[in-house]
A and B are shown apart, each in its own frame.
Chain A
Amino acid sequence: MLSKMEVKQSNLKDGATPRPTFSIFRDFLFLLPFVIFVVAFLILPTISIFISAFQDPSGKFTLQNIKDLFTPYIMNAYLLSIKVSLFTAVFGALIGFMLAYASTFGKLPSWVKSYLNTFSGVASNFASVPLAFAFISTLGRVGLLTALIQQIFHVSIYDLGFNLYSFWGLCLTYLYFQIPLMVLLMTPALEGMKKEWREGAENLGATPSQYWLKIGLPILFPTIIANTVLLFGNAFGAYATAYALTGGFLNLVPIIIGAEIRGDILHNVGLGYALALGMIVIMGITILSYNYLQSKTARWLK
């Protein structure tokens, strides 16, 4: 870490005025609110996760919960959660990017962009029971669309193998809040793309696609990836929607955690917390690898 900062210092461009020296005090002033807040309201309250993950139902220290994580049942749950999150993150990012791009650069009337943004704001959190019910009433067995298709084409999509209450149905439902999230995150970044770059590129004879390939996308790349990782985390931790739609019949990690902790039946809180710990580890790995990837490509970009 230290060496990276030293390297940064030496990257000062020629002729630039040296940065004013900043005391450690200044560093703290900027960072202190964040540190205090996070410690007080995020880390301390959830320290119980770390402690309870290593306790058995009677409170004694044990590694059994961690060992239990490696049963096929739990491993499959992690796999399923990762699959759903990955799929909806990537496609949510893709489609969200397309929509944001279309509204920013597609030369559409300006009301489109403002409506899209407002809608995205609302939709990005239209989740859990209302969303599940909305999809059930659209694509469920007696849903609006299902009935419509039945009337027009005389065929039931359920007979053709479609099933809302499945992996694909869940992904379709998740996309409802993933895509708007991406739109909201991407639009400011796209707006910030300096017009001068595009005009400059045009003046030099580049086509729009060349501009995008060589300049636009590479610049946006870190942001796109960072946003996709956020979408991944968003889906990974989602509980209410999955529960409302599939009633706990799809084994996602948050559902199992909920079952263990909420426990009318199962009540191995320690295992629940161990599962949460596992999720934290996975998120940590994801973020570290994305940061690593990003630093590598940043160097290549420069």
Chain B
Amino acid sequence: MKKAFTTKFIVVLLLVVFLGSVVFTGCAKKTTTEQTGTGNAYLDQLIKAAQKEGELTVIALPHDWANYGEIISTFSSKYGIKVNELDPNAGSGNEIEAIKANKGSTGPQAPDVIDVGLAWGPTAKEQGLIQPYKVQTWDTIPDDVKDPDGYWYGDYYGVLAFEVNSSVIKNIPQDWSDLLKPEYKGKVALGGDPRTSAMAAMAVAAAAIANGGSFDNVMPGPEFFAKLNKAGNFVPVIAKPGTIASGETPIAMMWDYLALTDRDNFNGNPEISVVIPKSSVVAGVYVQAISAYAPHPNAAKLWMEFLYSDEGQLLYLKGYVHPIRYNDLAKRNVIPEDLAKKLPPAELYAKAIFPTIDQITKAKKDIADNWDKVVNVNVKQNGS
């Protein structure tokens, strides 16, 4: 008797709260503001409006990734705007989820801007999660990495490289085929899981290209790693600065800018060599976009203006990424000499392959689908 009543009570309570939440989550307002004008007067207006909002919320921006640490602090102190930083570990999918979950809410937990992989731009636009905005320097952004309506556009790119702990590895591998050599037994690792990390997936794609494949046929990639695994050279650990420094994963496949940043941070302890493999140079482009539900739209726009200004792009360069306006900056000779020297020589990047969005999407899917079949099966046999 008592229990039946209790159950009924619970059910009623549940229904009430559920209905209530459904009613109230129905209304979510988008926060688009019209772009009015160009030039310095406009910028001053924007700055004032942004400062009035006072805050900006970003997500998934580790401080040592593309020098975001300095970019965030420079932006914050230059304009006096507080920057809230959500989960630096978030993946592109998490960023999209964060926008969705915060539809219609204000507050520091709702992201204003996102920095996601190239393939996510169109997806986010389709789902109505981002709003268009063309920065002042719009025309100098290459056409093939921007949405014509201004919803998303590339901010920087890097290429896939080998990060080698040269204090431990004396004979540094120069290319993909070198990795199969027996001297590298138990030494080669990826910087992520190819089923969840764009960087790792691109590494597998790069392996494919080095072995006769292409972005339209990435099967040689997983096959290469299966060979690597069978030879015992592959370590199934996600390479992080800690494991590279300790020698557990002394050869790791990372974006060049991450490897170069590590080289600086370790300060010789250990020594790091960054090798861009000759037979395949794969570029990964990231794009910025403003959330359609951004609680601080003007601050978000100011952030975009900052990133795409010469100052912002040079800060990116300091983090060893190629800012998207690199060619324009080089043409106008605004790149400081010492900064230019810190990047690997330009010839290495000349052969960089920039996959299209469709190619990326297809390649990721093929790699994800086949990764387990070709590699995991063997891993299990090795250990479990």
Contact = CB atoms under 8 A, between A and B. Distances in A.
Which label, helix, strand, loop or mixed, suits the secondary structure of the B interface?
helix
Given A27-B6, A259-B195, A265-B195, A165 B201 contact: no
Q: Which of B3, B117, B195, B247 has most chain A Cβ within 10 Å?
A: B195
Contact of B117 (A80, A140, A264): A264
A233 to B, nearest CB: 22
Given A246-B236, A263-B93, A35 B383 contact: no
Interface stretch (A37-45, A205-213, A220-228): A37-45
B6 to A, nearest CB: 7
Interface string B1-24: 111011001100110011001000
A264 B14 contact: no
Given A36-B13, A263-B91, A265-B368, A141 B235 contact: yes
Q: How many B residues are at the interface, by size bracket?
A: 35 or more
A259 B97 CA distance: 14
A278 B6 CA distance: 28
A31 B6 CA distance: 9
B106 interface: no
Contacts of B1: 2
A243 to B, nearest CB: 8
A142 B194 contact: no
B383 A163 contact: yes
A301 interface: no
Interface in B136-183: 168
B54 interface: no
A137 B246 contact: yes
A1 interface: yes
Given A141-B235, A249-B236, A267-B93, A158 B196 contact: no
B9 A44 contact: no
B357 to A, nearest CB: 14
A246 B235 CA distance: 9
Interface stretch (B37-45, B185-193, B213-221): B185-193
Interface residues of A, number: 48
Contact of B384 (A31, A167, A245): A167
B97 to A, nearest CB: 7
Contact of A165 (B192, B196, B237, B246): B237
B93 A261 contact: yes
B21 A44 contact: yes
B186 A166 contact: no
B238 A244 contact: yes
A259 B196 contact: yes
A121 interface: no
29 contacts: A5-B3, A24-B5, A35-B10, A35-B13, A36-B13, A39-B13, A44-B21, A133-B243, A136-B237, A136-B243, A137-B246, A140-B237, A140-B246, A165-B237, A165-B383, A168-B384, A248-B195, A249-B236, A259-B195, A262-B94, A263-B196, A264-B93, A264-B196, A264-B364, A265-B198, A265-B364, A265-B365, A265-B367, A266-B368
Interface of A: 1-2, 5, 24, 27-28, 31, 35-36, 39-40, 43-44, 47, 73, 80, 133, 136-137, 140-143, 158, 163, 165-169, 243-251, 258-259, 261-267
